Amino acid sequence: MISRREFLQFAAGLGALGAAGKFAAPGPAWAQDYKALVCVFLNGGNDGHNLIVPLQAEQYAAYQNARGVLALPTSQLTAVTDASQGTFGLPTVAPQLPSLFTQGKLAIVANVGVLAEPTTFGAISDGSARLPSNLRSHAIQIASMQTGYATSGATTGWGGRMLDQLEAYNEGADFPVAISMDKPALYCSGVTTQDITLQPGNTLQQQGLGASPGAAGLARMTAQQQILAADGGNAMIDAANDVLARANALNPVLASSGAAPTFPKAFPVGGLGDQLKDVARMINQHAQHGIGRQVFFCSLGGFDTHSVQVTRQSTLLQQVGQSVDAFSAAMTFAGLDRQVTLFTLSDFGRTLTPSGNGTDHGWGNHHLVLGGAVSGGMIHGRFPLMTNYRIFNATADDFADPRGVMLPGISLAQYGGTLARWFGIPEPRIDAIFPELPSFPARDLGLFVT
């Protein structure tokens, strides 16, 4: 037996598959220009304050003072240097992250958040700021991060809308191009682009059809195909039959690509590791399926750390470090590292000050961007000064309130717009994907090597 929630998730995934089930002969549009964006969503609101820590003496002392019991000692931080902003520490539980940063493959984007317009503490204080919807709500902020809109209510995601703009690259594809791993994701859904939800290792094989051997099994399969092809006169039943028929059609395609190449580094078993391993396998097969552009959505839960934060976040970041490192190695081994970019999103950041041995919901957050085309080994955007905590004036807009909630210095529209530009979206069309972007003076964060 499966739960109602599991059934609904499965049905949603098959429903998207039904809409995406157009299979045609591979075409030449993908040529030599394949690109993929891989979103890793850290569900619950990852605490960016302990993802990257300033190590310059004055800033670290201010961090320790504000963080209290949550402050990471320098012995649990591996130092990395940004040429213009100084020395910072990444958690030693994820040694792969500072290694990738030093190699120039990993960049950090500082203090990103959903913004409707450039916002200052003064505008928040006097009520003149136009703020995003429900800033502390998990559900609303998860939706905003995936839709790219500061206000809620959108039915498409910015990953799917990017693919809408680049349909010519995938006109001959015989494999899904917007894929969410494990559970449905709004990020992958477009206006014309339909997403599919897959589970790691699941090829949509119907195990029950193999219960009877030989001719009996073939008869069962033939009977099912006849039932699915019949017009029952009921729109809902016919739609469900069409979904299952398309799932059956995709099954051999998934199965044929199921033999994973030998990756140079082992992916951690379970969770994010399994998801990124399957993503790496599918990316490796893009050419034989005629794909020019793809978006993927992976997720890892548990970051809503209201208690026991240090231990819980450390365990999760360890998994992130191992998974993205294995993924990076796989892309380099395949010669695709410059064509694939992985980036993180999360509901929101968290408070600088603790609440017991955990933290509460925040706003701005630090994110990771990984790939061979990334301008790595540096922090993009201005890292908030810990010494500006509790200082609110015209020159200190680092924090939005006395709890140490970061006031975003970079909008989601700028972050996503920069990724969209690398992905190949023509400049005039980026604003259609991120309608708030024209409000911000900097359209490109300089995340990629030119």
- What residues does 367 pair with on adjacent strands? 109
pLDDT score of 255 more than 70: no
Yes or no: say if 110 and 409 are a contact pair by the CB < 8 Å rule: yes
Coil/strand/helix, residue 216:
helix
Give the mean pLDDT of the chain: 88
Yes or no: say if 66 and 406 are a contact pair by the CB < 8 Å rule: no
pLDDT digits (tens, 9 = 90+) for 182-218: 889 999 999 999 899 998 876 666 666 666 666 776 7
Minimum mean pLDDT among 93-97, 231-235, 245-249: which range? 245-249
Percent of the residues in the chain that have a pLDDT greater than 70, as a whole number: 84
More confident residue, 255 or 80: 80
For residues 401 and 3, what is the distance between their CA atoms, to the nearest angstrom? Answer: 42
Determine the pLDDT at residue 211: 60
Yes or no: say if 126 and 397 are a contact pair by the CB < 8 Å rule: no
Q: How confident is the model at residue 41 (pLDDT cuts 50, 70, 90)?
A: very high
Determine the pLDDT at residue 207: 63
pLDDT digits (tens, 9 = 90+) for 47-72: 999 999 999 999 999 999 999 999 99
Determine the pLDDT at residue 13: 44
pLDDT score of 22 more than 60: no
Percent of the residues in the chain that have a pLDDT greater than 90, as a whole number: 72
Q: How confident is the model at residue 236 (pLDDT cuts 50, 70, 90)?
A: confident
Determine the pLDDT at residue 66: 97
Q: Give the predicted TM-score (pTM) of the model.
A: 0.88
Domains of the chain: 4-201+258-439 (3.40.720)
Q: How confident is the model at residue 260 (pLDDT cuts 50, 70, 90)?
A: low
pLDDT score of 250 more than 90: no
Determine the pLDDT at residue 1: 35
pLDDT score of 25 more than 60: no
pLDDT score of 221 more than 90: no
Yes or no: say if 398 and 385 are a contact pair by the CB < 8 Å rule: yes
Yes or no: say if 324 and 342 are a contact pair by the CB < 8 Å rule: yes
Minimum mean pLDDT among 3-12, 286-295, 398-407, 427-436: which range? 3-12
Average of per-residue pLDDT across 430-436: 96
Average of per-residue pLDDT across 11-22: 41
Indicate the helix (H) or strand (E) that contains 309: helix 309-333
pLDDT score of 81 more than 90: yes
pLDDT digits (tens, 9 = 90+) for 354-368: 999 999 999 999 999
Q: How confident is the model at residue 5 (pLDDT cuts 50, 70, 90)?
A: very low
Average of per-residue pLDDT across 376-399: 90
- What is the residue-wise DSSP string for 367-423? EEEESTTB--SSEESPPPPGGGTT--BTTB-SBSSTT--B--SEEHHHHHHHHHHHH
Enumerate long-range contacts of 198-203, CB under 8 Å, 24 or more apart: 198/13, 198/254, 198/278, 200/274, 200/275, 200/277, 200/278, 201/274, 201/278, 203/251, 203/254, 203/255, 203/258
Determine the pLDDT at residue 390: 87
More confident residue, 393 or 363: 363
Q: How confident is the model at residue 35 (pLDDT cuts 50, 70, 90)?
A: very high
- Count CB atoms within 10 A of the CB of residue 6: 11
pLDDT digits (tens, 9 = 90+) for 301-359: 999 999 999 999 999 999 999 999 999 999 999 999 999 999 999 999 999 999 999 99
Sort strands 106-113 and 365-370 into parallel, antiparallel or unpaired: antiparallel
Supply the angle between the helices 235-256 and 214-229 in degrees, to the nearest 10: 130
Yes or no: say if 225 and 271 are a contact pair by the CB < 8 Å rule: no
